[in-house]
Amino acid sequence: MVELGAPVSGLIDKVLVKRGDRVSRGEVLASLDSHAEQAAADLAHYKSQLVGPAQLAQSKIEFSQRKFDRRRDMAAEKLMSRQDSDDAESELKQAQAELVTAKENREEARLEYVQQSAQLNLRTLRSPFDGVVVDQMMWPGEIFEPGATKHAILKLAQINPLHVRVVMPMRAFGDAAPGMSATIVPEVLPNQHYAAKVTSVDRIIDAASGTFVVFIDLPNPKFDLPSGVKCKATLNK
């Protein structure tokens, strides 16, 4: 049983499920309003796709390279001062630096997009497992705040497998072991027998009651068995 909320505060925009609905792992169940976060993510994505600054810097490099080559040759033949050749070389290095800056800015925008996308995902609630919706505590239009008294939007239950808790007397200690098979008969379907398996056994006996607990997992892939009902368990030795 888990209570689902978001790690950030915001206005609840949508709740896509209701009490009693079956949900699948990863399914979107609810979302907070995210218009501002979506716009920020879209802007960062656009910036990360820009190629103009890099193309402009590359063009400057090509032009500056030709200019530098010509002036270097002229300077070598004493047709131009050395200062003019040095100026052309400086322009070339500046153009190369602009290309590096353009690539760095694009990479920065890409990382910003990843960050904004992560922030956007925090405003979407997804089911952590296959299960059922047990309760809905908040509704669209309400303000959700982490850590508040109403700290959850939905409550979910995982009912496959069902966890059977069998209380046994102290004299039966040692009769059950992990991996042992068991037969479960629930009170809601007394004519049905279900195969299960022991997962763990208490290593401490309760002194007051003289009992210990055996834990059994009961597969429930079709969700035909409800949780929270009494049952009888028979260990198959």
- What is the reported pLDDT for 149? 56
DSSP 8-state code for residue 70: H
> In which order are the strands placed within the sheet that holds 162-169?
162-169, 211-218, 194-201, 181-186, 231-236
Please state the rounded mean pLDDT for residues 91-97.
83
Is residue 85 predicted with pLDDT exceeding 70?
no
- What is the reported pLDDT for 80? 63
Tell me the pLDDT tens digit for each residue of 46-82. 988 888 888 888 887 887 777 767 766 676 666 666 6
User: What's the residue count for the chain?
Assistant: 237
What is the third-level CATH fold of 2-33+124-157? OB fold (Dihydrolipoamide Acetyltransferase, E2P) (2.40.50)
Q: Given 1.10.150.120, 3.40.50.12640, 1.10.1200.10, 2.40.30.170, which CATH number is that of 162-236?
A: 2.40.30.170
> In which order are the strands placed within the sheet that holds 124-126?
124-126, 28-32, 10-15, 143-144
Please state the rounded mean pLDDT for residues 188-209.
92
pLDDT level of residue 19 (50, 70, 90 thresholds): very high
Show me where the domains of the chain are located: 2-33+124-157, 40-121, 162-236
- What is the reported pLDDT for 61? 80
Tell me the pLDDT tens digit for each residue of 113-164. 899 899 899 999 999 999 999 999 999 999 998 876 567 999 999 999 999 9
